[in-house]
A and B are shown apart, each in its own frame.
Chain A
Amino acid sequence: MTNTTDVTTHAMAITPEDLPTAGSFFKPHRIVLLVIAAALVFCVVWFMRWDWLPQYLPRLGHGIVVTLAMLFSTSILGFLLAVPLGLVQVTGPWPLKTLASGFCTIIRGTPLLLQLWLLYYGLGSLFPQFPAIRHSFLWPYLRESWPYGVAALTISFAAYEGEVMRGAFAGVPAGELEAARAYGMSRWTLFRRIWLPRAIHRALPTLNGETVLQLKATPLVATITVIDVYAVISKVRQDTYITYEPLLLLALIYMCLTGILVIAFRYLENRIPTRGA
């Protein structure tokens, strides 16, 4: 089961082994291709309209910060939720097990956009009906749109990661856990020292891939009026009636963000010692 998820994650997200090495560019046909690509980029810069760019640059920067904040906050929160979700499915009592796997199935079986709109339009229209909520300290936040975006992205990430962590927890060799028990470790110590680190180690490549997928999911929050980089570009397109240039720039921005993320993951993965290999 983990294997299937691995394959699909790798098919949908770039992983560190996809990064080209510096030396691989110096092949004759690649130099020709690079020259053609450079010519194309020159044409795009020269012949298309970019005069709107300086005016929107500060807002674009702000949008990128919002996108990254969304990515990191939801990934971290989602991972914290995913650990218990995965663990409960491996060792929990059956009611918790059914609950956790039911949660994962429902979230993974419906589109993220629908979940986002359910939270924002659905819950968002329900909350004002309760005076208790309207007068609570949470109300200033619940009137904004970003908490709903964070909630939807966190829940979705937790469900996908929960499935990954389930496989990872189940895949830690039983002998290692038995050895830890034989040392007299308490259940909590065993979990903290052996089970969790080993599971994360096993799941790391998939976790990294899922984080890239999470970055690719963040622009959806623009549909509920969170001003991330995608929303800034949509604004540009509305203001200037230019179709392609803003979208091309947006694609470039996301490619750069993904690239930086993947390079960071390669650095992380290389720092963790593996046996053999």
Chain B
Amino acid sequence: MAADSIINWGLLALAPPGWGGVLLNGLVNSVQIAIGGYAFGLLLGVGGAFGKLYGGPILRDLMECYTTIVRAVPELVLILLLYYAGTDALNHVLNLVGIGTVDISGLAAGIFVIGVVQGAYSTEVLRGAIKAVPAGQIEAARAYGMSPFKVMTRVTLPAMLPYAIPGLSNLWLIATKDTALLAVVGFSELTLVTRQAAGATKAYILFFCAAGALYLALTLFSNVLIRIIERHSRRGFVEQS
């Protein structure tokens, strides 16, 4: 028994007898979904935050329902619901239009699902950040006769960025970890691939630790980038104590 538990590093080799290449492929899939989902979530978040702050009463209430539901229901349940409902709804629509059903790639579905969840979170983060922008700056922009869209792109968005970046960078780290939940719907991202590799070779601890190291490396690498972006965005800010 003792000889078996000595680590067999050969299993992590990149070439086919080892599973290293498969793991890295899973990591690439995870990162793709995280980036796509995060970007989609940011778009939803910007829309949601502006809707919540400047929209009419009905739009505001609908946005409130969206963020409340996402914040009250576990991600795992949302992912299952959106995964089935999203693909079904798309196929229904395509059927009505007359194109016929399509096979939705796991990648697109994963990005959609993670994006909808992240959208609610970033709505809340961005709403707080926009509220932190001094009202006088936005009023000044309006007084110059800028259209609402111009006010948004020229004043509100750039001015709220320093307030939003800490929250948004946390959301990025959460997005990378939430991709693991897609293992439950059978998308071959890092966690599911790891489980398959571990199941095939019975070297559970080795593979799960290796995957953990990959996730951790992703987080630490992101942290370095975030620190650079944060420093850049806070130029000219007076440090308040």
Q: Please report the total number of A residues contacting B with Cβ < 8 Å.
A: 52
Interface segment, one of B13-21, B97-105, B153-161, B208-216:
B208-216
Which of B61, B178, B204 has the most C-beta atoms of chain A within 10 angstroms of its own C-beta? B204
Could you tell me if A118 and B215 are in contact, using CB atoms closer than 8 angstroms?
no
Q: How near does chain A come to B189, taking the closest CB pair, in angstroms?
A: 10
Report chain A residues within 8 Å CB of B55: none
Within 8 Å of chain A (Cβ to Cβ): is B81? yes
Could you tell me if A18 and B1 are in contact, using CB atoms closer than 8 angstroms?
no
Question: Chain B contact residues: over half helix, strand or loop, or mixed?
Answer: helix
Q: How near does chain A come to B190, taking the closest CB pair, in angstroms?
A: 8
Could you tell me if A118 and B80 are in contact, using CB atoms closer than 8 angstroms?
no
Could you tell me if B205 and A122 are in contact, using CB atoms closer than 8 angstroms?
yes
Given A217-B74, A254-B73, A255-B73, A121:B195 Cβ within 8 A: yes
Given A117-B208, A122-B204, A247-B84, A29:B74 Cβ within 8 A: no
Report chain A residues within 8 Å CB of B178: 111
Within 8 Å of chain B (Cβ to Cβ): is A186? no
Q: Please report the total number of B residues contacting A with Cβ < 8 Å.
A: 55
Could you tell me if A251 and B77 are in contact, using CB atoms closer than 8 angstroms?
yes
Within 8 Å of chain B (Cβ to Cβ): is A125? yes
Q: Which residue of A lies closest to B60 (CB)?
A: A29
Interface segment, one of A5-13, A133-141, A175-183:
A5-13
Task: Scan A129-148; emit 1 where CB is below 8 A from any B CB, else 0.
Answer: 10000000000000000000
Given A18-B68, A29-B61, A255-B72, A250:B216 Cβ within 8 A: no
Bound together, the chains give a CA A8 to CA B72 distance in angstroms of 15
Given A29-B57, A247-B80, A7:B191 Cβ within 8 A: no
Within 8 Å of chain A (Cβ to Cβ): is B69? yes
Within 8 Å of chain B (Cβ to Cβ): is A33? yes
Within 8 A of A (CB), among B71-86: 71-78, 80-81, 84-85
Within 8 Å of chain A (Cβ to Cβ): is B170? yes
Within 8 Å of chain B (Cβ to Cβ): is A75? no
Selected contact of B121 from candidates A11, A111, A115, A215, CB within 8 Å: A11
Bound together, the chains give a CA A27 to CA B61 distance in angstroms of 11
Q: How near does chain A come to B64, taking the closest CB pair, in angstroms?
A: 8
Given A8-B125, A114-B194, A244-B85, A129:B1 Cβ within 8 A: yes
Task: Scan B122-166; emit 1 where CB is below 8 A from any A CB, else 0.
Answer: 101100100000000000000000000000000000000000001
Selected contact of A125 from candidates B128, B181, B202, B211, CB within 8 Å: B202
Could you tell me if A7 and B208 are in contact, using CB atoms closer than 8 angstroms?
no
Could you tell me if A33 and B61 are in contact, using CB atoms closer than 8 angstroms?
yes
Bound together, the chains give a CA A14 to CA B177 distance in angstroms of 20
Report chain A residues within 8 Å CB of B166: 3-4, 7
Report chain A residues within 8 Å CB of B85: 244
Within 8 Å of chain B (Cβ to Cβ): is A99? no
Within 8 Å of chain A (Cβ to Cβ): is B11? no
Q: Which residue of A lies closest to B194 (CB)?
A: A114
11 contacting pairs across A/B (C-beta < 8 A): A7-B125, A10-B128, A11-B128, A18-B68, A29-B57, A108-B219, A118-B208, A121-B204, A126-B5, A244-B84, A254-B73
Residues on A facing B (Cβ under 8 Å): 3-5, 7-8, 10-14, 18, 27, 29-30, 33, 105-106, 108-115, 117-118, 121-123, 125-126, 129, 212, 215-220, 223, 230, 243-244, 247-248, 250-251, 254-255, 258-259
**6 more A-B residue pairs beyond the given contacts A212-B71, A255-B69, with a C-beta to C-beta distance below 8 A:** A11-B125, A12-B124, A13-B71, A118-B204, A121-B198, A254-B74
Residues on B facing A (Cβ under 8 Å): 1, 5, 57-58, 61-62, 68-69, 71-78, 80-81, 84-85, 88, 121-122, 124-125, 128, 166-167, 170-171, 173-174, 177-181, 183-184, 191, 194-195, 198-199, 202, 204-205, 208-209, 211-212, 215-216, 219-220
